[in-house]
Chain A
Amino acid sequence: MVRAARAALDPGGPGSEITLRDVSHRFDLDGAPLPVLDHIDLHVARGEFVALLGPSGCGKSTLLRLVAGLEKPSSGEIFADGAPIAGPHPSRVVVFQDPTLFPWRHVFDNVALGLEAQGLLKSRRGRVDQTLRLVGLDNFAKAFPHQLSGGMSQRVALARALVNDPAVLILDEPLGKLDSLTRMTMQGEIVNLWRRAGFTVLLVTHDIEEALLMATRLIVLSDRPAMVKADIRVDKPYPRHRGDPDLVSRRREILGLLGLEASW
């Protein structure tokens, strides 16, 4: 436990490496077990940007919850920098599909949530302003969440995660509910933030194009219970372009893996 905490606090670099060893997970549906993850082995290197793709309901988000420490796997082990994950830790922060900002807090206080919870707010107030500037919302520090648009809210959620200087940023379809223009902008922004800070990213998305534009590695999962179906490296330089013929052909390849080649 002590070792785990020390390892998580001192990753020896900006990102963490995440290892899933033979991880299976079941939900209990009225006494009947529902297997969700089936013997997943996965190693994510420090600073990698990994996108998880898979059919709807296959267990991608569950996998993220396990890595975040919000739930414990039914069997198998998950390590962050070699130490087993025992629970949630601010070095591994999640951005959910819904911004889930606290409506009773100003934007500033929402972003400051993590520092406040860890008792660091007094010493690191400036970091909150800095992060708000980073996501372009420094003028909205005193606004309430209900006054923000969907894209702005998701930016606040992103700032709320980044202010903790996470070693792993866990993104659970963070752009899923945004309009396509905001989405394209934010795809670029997230990639830039990642390249600058160097943390490890785990991204769940249902959008293959998004995964190809952003990630260095794509993991394609099977139907529930999820198994790793394909592990694809994307070694293209950034910024990437939607029309890139190589990306287009990979998109087709992945659609095939997902059993959707007919829709091409």
Chain B
Amino acid sequence: MTSVSPATERLSSQAAERQPAQDDAGRAGAPARGWVSDSVLSVLAGSSWLLFAFITLHWPDLNDWGRGSEFSHAAILFGAALILAAGLGAVSERGAARLRRSTPWLLALGLFFSLWQAATAKFGLLPQPFFPPPHAILEVFLDDYPKLVESVIASIKLELFGFSLGACAGFVVGVLLGWSRGFGYWAHPIMRFIGPLPSIAWLPIAFFAFPSSWSASIFLIALTTGFPVAVLTWSGVASVNSAYYDVARTLGASPAFLVFKVAIPAALPQVFVGLFMGLGASFAVLVTAEMMGVKAGLGFYLQWAQGWASYANMYAALIVMSVMCSSMITLLFKARDRVLSYKKAEVQW
């Protein structure tokens, strides 16, 4: 269990090493190019989307998938806008700079969609129905959005409840472990025994031990989150520079002051590492719990779509899930940057 601490240090040292690879804006920037090649790239990116629209509209599908024309019209508008934007540099320097960053990606995406469209709907190179064309996925978003929205809300609710509960419990346990020898005597062996167990292993027991599969899932997500948070909070509190305590004690600090104003603030960077680990691990439990028992959420949606062999729905759910998880991690990064504003940001998400 103590091995977690060096692992975290490695994590943050890797983060520090990665920093120089980023430019001033903090994100990986597009390579510098001249004005003319910027415009050419913009025109190319626009053309790739027109190409996609052309393939979709003027080449009969092998099968019956909806929303091809809507997607194509949107692609035409988008492609035309990109081509027009080639001249943007003359009008707005700022807008052009912003666009310049994304044109390589927009070109790549246009080509990717064209290839995808050709390989699925037109040539049938990829086995059906496992690889639906892009407009089939769009169809899911347009036609089935009420159910998708409902699923996302259910997932977010479950995740937030479980994560908050686990994070709070893990934090409290971690602080107590780091602070109180008596608590550590009893809690440490229990942590060592239960902590490393994958929470999913509890699933069959949890589903009958708890009154509902929903509360069982909350428990599992909380357990998954709580363990890394507890271990890292503990190691954070335990490794606080003892000189901080000396300083505070000579200035008249009470034990409560030492815990809340010295130990906890000093341990917060470690606590956040634990929160990140817990959040990442909790996604896996969330989806599994939804697939296995909870009758709501994106995991359930995935399961349900598989039952109907509607693969387009599954891809749509995967996309939504990815956006959801990524947003939660973004939020946690934002919270960390706010709370630890006294430090220089280490990694931009």
Contact = CB atoms under 8 A, between A and B. Distances in A.
Contacts of B244: 100, 102
B342 interface: yes
A103 B342 contact: yes
A39 to B, nearest CB: 26
A112 B99 CA distance: 48
Contacts of A113: 247-248, 251
A226 to B, nearest CB: 21
Contacts of B305: none
A117 B248 contact: yes
Given A70-B246, A117-B257, A146-B342, A164 B266 contact: no
B246 A94 contact: yes
Interface in B330-347: 340, 342-344
B190 interface: no
A72 B344 CA distance: 40
Interface in A50-103: 65, 68-70, 87-90, 92-94, 96, 98, 100, 102-103
A105 B341 CA distance: 10
26 contacts: A70-B246, A70-B249, A88-B249, A88-B252, A89-B252, A90-B250, A90-B252, A93-B251, A94-B246, A94-B247, A96-B243, A100-B247, A102-B244, A103-B343, A104-B265, A104-B266, A104-B340, A104-B342, A117-B248, A117-B251, A117-B252, A117-B254, A117-B257, A146-B342, A146-B343, A160-B251
Cβ-closest 3 pairs across A and B: A114-B251, A90-B252, A117-B253
B250 A93 contact: yes
A139 interface: no
Contacts of A189: none
A102 B262 contact: yes
B261 A116 contact: yes
Contacts of A123: none
B268 interface: yes
A144 interface: yes
A114 B262 CA distance: 12
Nearest to B339: A104
B80 to A, nearest CB: 50
B22 interface: no
Contacts of B249: 70, 87-88
Interface in B202-234: none
Contacts of B262: 102
A65 B247 CA distance: 11
A70 B250 contact: yes
B265 A94 contact: no
Contacts of A94: 246-247, 250
A69 B249 CA distance: 9
Contacts of B253: 117
A118 B248 CA distance: 10
B241 interface: yes
Contacts of A100: 241, 243-244, 246-247
A114 B250 CA distance: 8
A89 B268 CA distance: 28
B250 to A, nearest CB: 5
Counting chain A residues whose Cβ lies within 8 A of the other chain, the interface size class is 20 to 34
B250 A88 contact: yes
A94 B253 CA distance: 14
Interface string A113-157: 110111000000000000000000000000010100000000000
Nearest to A102: B244
Scoring A93, A117, A160 by chain B CB atoms within 10 A of each residue's CB, the highest score goes to: A117
Given A69-B250, A116-B261, A146-B343, 12 more contacts: A88-B249, A90-B250, A93-B251, A96-B243, A100-B247, A102-B265, A105-B265, A113-B248, A114-B251, A118-B251, A118-B252, A144-B342
A146 B341 CA distance: 12
Interface string A169-202: 0100000000000000000000000000000000
A54 B243 CA distance: 23
Interface string B258-270: 0001100110100
Contacts of A164: 251-252
Contacts of B252: 88-90, 114, 117-118, 164
Contacts of A65: 246
A105 B343 CA distance: 11
Nearest to B251: A114
Contacts of B344: 146
Nearest to B340: A104
B265 A96 contact: no
A113 B249 CA distance: 11
Scoring B261, B265, B268 by chain A CB atoms within 10 A of each residue's CB, the highest score goes to: B261
A93 B249 CA distance: 9
Contacts of B268: 104
A65 B260 CA distance: 24
Contacts of B254: 117
Contact of A96 (B247, B248, B261, B340): B247
Nearest to A70: B246
Nearest to B262: A102
Contact of B243 (A90, A93, A98): A98
Contacts of A98: 243
Interface in B22-77: none
A92 B250 contact: yes
